[in-house]
Amino acid sequence: MECAKIFGKNMVGKGVPKGTVHNPKGINQYPGIRSNKMIALRLLKEHDPLIREKAEREGKTIAAILDEAIALYLSVNP
C-alpha cells in the first residue's frame, strides 16, 4: 500500500490539508483560526516561484507566507 504523499513528503497520520480532494471544505483542519469562506488566488507568474522558494527556504507553508504578507500590508495600510 502506497503512503499518501503531498509535495514528496509522507503525510500519513498528519491529516489531510485544507481544500484537497479528500477534504474539500477543510473541515476541522484549523479550528477557530480560519474563515469558513475560501479565497482562490492565482499568483502572477513572477511571484509564484519567489513565494514558493521563500516558503521552502524558511520551512513554512505558502499559506503562512501569504498570511505574513497580508498582515504586513494591513498593518501599513489600515
pLDDT bracket for residue 1 (50, 70, 90):
very low
Amino acid, res. 73: Y
44-65-19-9 Cα dihedral, nearest 10 degrees? 110
Burial 44-56, CB ≥16 within 10 A → b, else e: eeeeeeeeeeebe
β-strand partners of 6:
9
Q: What is the pLDDT of residues 28-74, one digit of tens each?
A: 666 677 777 778 889 999 999 999 999 999 999 898 899 999 999 99
Contact of 8 with 14, CB cutoff 8 Å: no
For the whole model, what pTM was predicted? 0.56
